[in-house]
Amino acid sequence: MTGDFGGRGRQGMSGSKSVEVKRGMIFYIQRFSVHDGPGIRTTVFMKGCPLRCWWCSNPESQSFSPQLIVRDVNCAGCGACVSACPKGAVTLAAHLGRRINRALCDDCLLCVDRCLYRSLDRCGTAVTVDEVMDNIERDLPFYRNSEGGVTVSGGEPLSQADFVEQLFVRCGKEGLHRVLDTSGYASGHDLERVARQADLILYDIKHLDPLIHRKATGVDNAVILENLEKAARINGALWLRVPLIEGFNDAEEHITRIAELGLEKGAEKISFLPYHEGGLSKSRQLGVDYPFKGIRAPGDERIAELAGIVEAMGLKVSIGV
């Protein structure tokens, strides 16, 4: 399958000519990250994702380009952004406060530099491997003492496979434990070359039914399942991660099938990630729709029940981690 996996082709990150330093588009570097792999980690969040999952908790990770973040609570009404905007997208009125017309805004971000109150902010920065390493290396002793390391998450890291591969090679030279957190939606070649550089793969399984998968994420799951097979053949460890959404993928029969898949592929464990509403406020700040407001996580008892089923099959389960 040679689908459009987004990423390099679409965004042209490295430009058309050969560029000395490859840059990656990231939206955040999270220090003291303890949920994406073992120990204390630094998680690098790559920006851009070919999927559009209903439950996405990082809506700012979807677009491959820098975006404007608006935090109205911080706005002092100074009007600096109004004069900074070349498109006339920003207006300021006494009774309405500061408004941004997203239809006119092209995310040029000129207003961000003028905002003193961090009410307008940039989401998305093109960085070099060296720049990321400078951040990662700050917490070396924490990784060592907690058996932690580096996680690359997203967005979809494999959409920027060149950059992530380089970053992992550098981390490998430093002796750091590397985790790849992926949806698996990428070309098999990209998956393999990046996965080979990882010590652990966190592999998302959202739904096993192709039609439901397409409906909820916008893409087919065939390539994901094919790639899972490839990931499993590579030496590193494998954990399956299942975002748990009530009434969507939490049927016992479905969870049992995921567990069977995990056993078959030699996964060390399954992580349940119950849905949370973290994405809601962020989508508001981005000025994008978050249309699936009705969805929610199964109750704690239900989650424990599902965990019991998986454990009974001989596979470890963790919740939220």
Partner 1 sequence: METMQSMSSGKRPADKVGCLSPEELRKKVVSRAIRNIKRGHADDDSKRGMFRPEVRLDLQRSRLMTESYRETEGQPMVIRRAKALAHILTNMGIFIGDYERIVGYQTAEPNGIFHPIDQNWKSPRRLANSEEGKTLLDEEGRKELDKLCDYWKGKSISDRHQAALPPDLKKYWTYEGTFLWSQLSELGVPNYEKLFKAGLKGIVEEARQRMDELDREIPVDFKAQKDFLEAVVISLEAVIKFAKRYADLALSASAKEINPPRKTILEEIARTCEWVPENPPRTFIEAIQFFFFIHLVRYLEYSTLGIGVRVDHLFGPYYEKDLREGRINREEALGILQLLWIKLNELGLVYSPTVSSVYGGVASLQAVTIGGTDEEGRDVTNDLTYLVMEAAESLRLIEPSIALRIHDNTPDEVYSRAVDVIKTGIGYPSLFNDEALIPLYERWGVPHGEAKSYSVTGCVYIEIPGKNILRRSVGYPVLAKMLWWALHQGKDPKTGVQFGARTPDPATFKSWEDLLDAYCEQVKFFFTKIEQLERINNEILAEYLPRPFYSALLDGCIEKGKDCRKWVYPSMIHHFAQVIGGVNVADSITAVQKVVFDDKLVTLPELIEIMDRNWEGREDVRQACLSAPKYGNDDDYADRIAAEVMVRGEAAVEEVKDGFGLSHRSDGSAVSATYGLSGDTPATPDGRRDGEPFSDSTLAPAPGRDKKGPTAVLKSASKISTVDTFNHLLNQKFSPKFLTGELKPAFMGYLKTWKELSVPHIQFNVVDRETLVKAKKFPEQYSDLIVRVAGFSAYFVDLSPGLQDHIIARTEQRLV
Judged by the rule CB under 8 A, the positions of this chain that interact with partner 1 are: 30-35, 38-40, 76, 78, 116-118, 138-139, 141-142, 144-148, 318, 321
- Taking Cα atoms as reference points, which of 154, 122, 130 lies closest to residue 58? 154
220 vs 311, which CB is nearer to partner 1?
A: 311
Least distance in Å: CB of 38 to partner 1? Answer: 8
The span from the CA of 311 to the CA of 304, in Å, is 10
78 vs 225, which CB is nearer to partner 1?
A: 78
Q: Are 148 and 40 in contact (CB under 8 A)?
A: yes
Other Cβ atoms closer than 10 A to 302: 15
Least distance in Å: CB of 286 to partner 1? Answer: 18
The span from the CA of 137 to the CA of 115, in Å, is 31
288 vs 321, which CB is nearer to partner 1?
A: 321
**63 DSSP assignment:** -
Least distance in Å: CB of 242 to partner 1? Answer: 16
Least distance in Å: CB of 221 to partner 1? Answer: 28
Residues facing residue 202 across a β-bridge? 181, 239
134 vs 252, which CB is nearer to partner 1?
A: 134
11 vs 125, which CB is nearer to partner 1?
A: 125
**297 DSSP assignment:** P
The span from the CA of 141 to the CA of 149, in Å, is 10
147 vs 264, which CB is nearer to partner 1?
A: 147
Write out the E strands in the chain. 23-33, 41-46, 67-70, 90-93, 97-100, 120-123, 125-128, 149-153, 177-182, 200-204, 237-244, 269-274, 316-319
Least distance in Å: CB of 283 to partner 1? Answer: 17
40 vs 44, which CB is nearer to partner 1?
A: 40
Least distance in Å: CB of 41 to partner 1? Answer: 9
Least distance in Å: CB of 99 to partner 1? Answer: 21
Least distance in Å: CB of 153 to partner 1? Answer: 11
Q: Which two tokens stand for residue 197?
A: 């550089």
Q: Which two tokens stand for residue 288?
A: 């994008």
The span from the CA of 169 to the CA of 207, in Å, is 32
The span from the CA of 72 to the CA of 75, in Å, is 5
52 vs 118, which CB is nearer to partner 1?
A: 118
134, amino acid identity: D
- Taking Cα atoms as reference points, which of 84, 87, 73, 92 lies closest to residue 115? 84
The span from the CA of 239 to the CA of 272, in Å, is 11
